[in-house]
Amino acid sequence: MTARVGVVTFPGSLDDGDAARAVRIAGAEPVRLWHGDPDLHGVDAVVLPGGFSYGDYLRCGAIARFAPVMETLVDAARGGLPVLGICNGFQILCEAHLLPGALTRNQHLHFRNRDQVLRIETVATAWTNAFQPGQEVLIPVKNGEGCYVADAATLDQLEAEGRVVARYVGGNPNGSQRDIAAITNSAGNVVGIMPHPEHAVEALTGPSLDGLGFFTSVLKHLVGAPA
């Protein structure tokens, strides 16, 4: 049976179509979810895509966190549903307290759009099990508020528990503390990543096919998950 992966659209979402396409290329069925509808329609996993939800008013992700779909999603994620937040989706996950820390304005105060090398630090998540520990991948990054920050105790805890999912290599594009590009929750089912793996799934349009591994990982995870 084909896995069904939901992709949420908020007002101002930019990359929801790209995320749905990546899900399809990976071999799953993308299911479009609407911010105003709390029903997750029985999906097996969810992607919160990049963009500028609600125009980034107040703070990036601060309003989206209160969308009806998020009320259901937060409970489902705490119950084990795999959730991937990309860029703005990462910001929303932090605002919803599914992940610790926050994403703030890039330290250099400029928007950054470039192909970025990342090092995969852990494969013990629902979204990275298709990689090898220490594997370097090339994924586009495009953000103005992608600087990951947290207090020292939180950063130390993330490191000690192996919850740093990926780090920037060859230059930090936004000043994120400890070069952090992606993190996970303690259960490994929720991952937030600032770069855009959905833009690296086809040779025609991406710098590599490296992003596809995030989407095939969740299918592998679902196959092995208990019924």
Tokens 């025609």 correspond to 204
What is the pLDDT at residue 227? 47
Q: How far apart are CA 129 and CA 124, in angstroms?
A: 6
**145: CATH:** 3.40.50.880
Annotated catalytic residue: which of 35, 196, 199, 221? Answer: 196
Judge whether 198 counts as a catalytic residue. yes
Number of structural domains (the chain) is: 1
Residue 87 falls in which region: left (phi positive, over 0), alpha (psi -120 to 50) or beta: left
What is the pLDDT at residue 12? 94
Residues of the chain by 3-state class (helix, strand, coil), percent to 5: 30, 25, 45
What is the pLDDT at residue 225? 65
Question: For residue 171, what is the DSSP state?
Answer: S
Q: How far apart are CA 116 and CA 131, in angstroms?
A: 17
Rounded to the nearest 10 degrees, the angle between the axes of helix 212-224 and helix 16-26 is 60
Determine the structural domain holding residue 66 and report its residue range. 4-224
Q: Is 115 helix (H, G, I), strand (E, B) or coil?
A: strand
Cα Rg of the chain (Å, integer): 16
Q: How far apart are CA 161 and CA 184, in angstroms?
A: 10
Annotated catalytic residue: which of 60, 87, 94, 147? Answer: 87
Q: Pairing mode, if any, of strands 45-48 and 4-9?
A: parallel
What is the pLDDT at residue 105? 87
The stretches in the chain having pLDDT less than 70 are 225-227
Name which of 32, 35, 29 is nearest 92 in CA terms. Answer: 35
Q: Residue 177 is encoded by which pair of tokens?
A: 């503390």
Please give the model's pTM, rounded to 2 decimal places.
0.96
Q: Residue 33 is encoded by which pair of tokens?
A: 């979810």
Q: How far is CA 33 from the centre of its chain?
A: 16
Q: Residue 160, CB half-sphere, CA atoms under 13 Å: how many? A: 6
What is the pLDDT at residue 41? 97
Residues 226, 49 contacting (CB under 8 angstroms): no
Annotated catalytic residue: which of 60, 145, 198, 221? Answer: 198
